[in-house]
Amino acid sequence: MSNVFSEIISFIKNIYKDKDIIPLHEPTFKGNEEKYVLDTIKSTFVSSVGEYVNLLEKKISAFTGMKGAVATVNGTQALYLALKISDVQPNDEVITQPLTFVATANAISYTGAFPIFLDVDKNTLGLSATELLNFIENDCEKTGGVLLNKKTKRKIKAVVPMHTFGHPCEIEKIAAICEKYDLSLIEDAAESLGSYYNSKHTGSFGKIGILSFNGNKTITTGGGGMLVTNDLNLAAKAKHLSTTAKVAHPYEFIHDETGYNFRMPNINAALGVAQMEYIDEILENKRKIAMQYKEFFKNIKGVQFVDEPENTKSNFWLNTILFNDPDDKINFLKTCIENKIMARSIWRPMHLLDMYKENYKNSLINTEFLYNSGVNLPSTPVFTS
């Protein structure tokens, strides 16, 4: 396999010619980022009040086709807020996938509910609609209008599928199941800005979607996130809770419930507004990299490139390959480190982490296969001008 590794390493080095160290995904600032950030400094509006926050919300709302958008300090807290306003309570259960970044499970835990783990599909890398339906039909019962997990006797309140590495999961089927069983659908679209299922933006299929603008994402605000929804009452509720539940008043500080300080600062939003001005170009260049990888891996034996699933357009946030032999995965990662290439293993699945290993799960064959074989490759878009 070492010849194959050398071929892959040379290919990556050729894409990122000018780099000594090749990161997994780094931000590009080639627009009005500096100008807008300086604007916030000059105006003194660097904190959570300011026009850039409102402007970023408008831009994301228009881009995703969602009526409401609420900017937050990060994607994790956007997800926590989304669960909170969907009435997820301590001791409830929330169905999610084990193959995700830890923030998905953590945000569920912050509410006092238990994340429970159902398997993903091999081709989408996201929550399997078949597994979801099997679990509800065979392992749950409806009592007094609520869905109970027969084994744990806990209420199932919500489903949080995640669009892994930007590839949309079977979200239409999942949405239909949630509708049928009256479960809140909250999409973790942290990685999938610019990804579509049947031409509809990810995050827009259920009650609420969330996005992340962390430094490694398709666009960045430094740190930041967004909650998107078509329900304007929910958007208003999220905004109120994220701004310490402060009631508008000319001079008094009145707060009508226990709120949070989760509003995105204006200085961060300024970066995001500048990035949104050329998001189409970012997405186009990311797709170009993905197509180069796809073409290249057609001729590489023992390795499979993860393509966008049928009926979807992926943003290819992180390009992923699967090694037939798990030993090759580890050896390849070691070779990348030697070559200063920051390729990374797919996340260790949630059910294998100490804090979640006792949580309810079903058979997770696909998740374990993907973890044992999957590697993310450098995916920063390359700009020629």
CA distance linking residue 155 with residue 59, whole number of Å: 37
Q: Near ligand PLP by CB under 6 A, which window of 185-193, 244-252, 295-303, 376-384?
A: 185-193
Q: Which residues, 152 to 181, sit near ligand PLP by CB under 6 A?
A: 162
Chain-centre distance of CA 250, in angstroms?
38
Q: Near ligand PLP by CB under 6 A, which window of 8-16, 70-78, 247-255, 294-302?
A: 70-78
> Of these, 27, 68, 75, 203, which contacts ligand PLP (CB under 6 A)?
75
Q: Nearest 10 degrees: CA dihedral of 78, 84, 87, 93?
A: 90
| C-beta of residue 88 within 8 angstroms of C-beta of residue 186 | no
Contacts with ligand PLP by CB under 6 A: the residue count is: 14
CA distance linking residue 90 with residue 69, whole number of Å: 26
Tell me the residue type at 375.
V
- Label residue 232 exposed, middle or buried (CB < 10 Å: 0-12, 13-18, 19+): exposed
The DSSP call for residue 165 is G
Q: Which residue is nearest to ligand PLP (CB)?
A: 75
Residue 106 contacts by C-beta under 8 Å, 6 or more apart in sequence?
76
Contact call for residue 318 and ligand PLP (CB under 6 A) = no
Residue 293 contacts by C-beta under 8 Å, 6 or more apart in sequence?
305, 319, 321, 377
The tokens of 86 are what? Answer: 């969907």
> Of these, 86, 97, 100, 380, which contacts ligand PLP (CB under 6 A)?
100
CA-closest candidate to residue 194, choices 50, 313, 27: 313
> Of these, 40, 48, 61, 74, which contacts ligand PLP (CB under 6 A)?
74
Report phi then psi at 165, rounded to 5: 55, 20
Question: Minimum Å distance from CB 192 to ligand PLP?
Answer: 9
Question: Minimum Å distance from CB 75 to ligand PLP?
Answer: 3
Closer residue to ligand PLP (CB): 297 or 347: 347
Closer residue to ligand PLP (CB): 69 or 303: 69
Closer residue to ligand PLP (CB): 68 or 161: 161
Residue length of the chain: 385
Question: Minimum Å distance from CB 104 to ligand PLP?
Answer: 5
Q: Which residues, 198 to 237, sit near ligand PLP by CB under 6 A?
A: 212, 214, 225
Contact call for residue 191 and ligand PLP (CB under 6 A) = yes
Question: Minimum Å distance from CB 265 to ligand PLP?
Answer: 14
Residue 284 contacts by C-beta under 8 Å, 6 or more apart in sequence?
none
The tokens of 64 are what? Answer: 């995703």
Task: Give the three-state DSSP class for 162.
Answer: strand
Question: Minimum Å distance from CB 100 to ligand PLP?
Answer: 5
| C-beta of residue 385 within 8 angstroms of C-beta of residue 158 | no
> Of these, 190, 238, 303, 375, which contacts ligand PLP (CB under 6 A)?
190
CA distance linking residue 47 with residue 40, whole number of Å: 9
Q: Near ligand PLP by CB under 6 A, which window of 167-175, 176-184, 187-195, 239-247?
A: 187-195
Closer residue to ligand PLP (CB): 50 or 225: 225
Q: Near ligand PLP by CB under 6 A, which window of 101-109, 142-150, 176-184, 332-340?
A: 101-109
Contact call for residue 103 and ligand PLP (CB under 6 A) = yes
Closer residue to ligand PLP (CB): 8 or 83: 83
Q: Near ligand PLP by CB under 6 A, which window of 81-89, 96-104, 114-122, 249-257?
A: 96-104
Question: Minimum Å distance from CB 213 to ligand PLP?
Answer: 7
> Of these, 61, 64, 104, 111, which contacts ligand PLP (CB under 6 A)?
104
Count the Cβ atoms, other than its own, within 10 Å of residue 213: 32
Q: Nearest 10 degrees: CA dihedral of 134, 137, 140, 142?
A: 150
Interacting residues with ligand PLP (CB under 6 A):
74-76, 100-101, 103-104, 162, 188, 190-191, 212, 214, 225
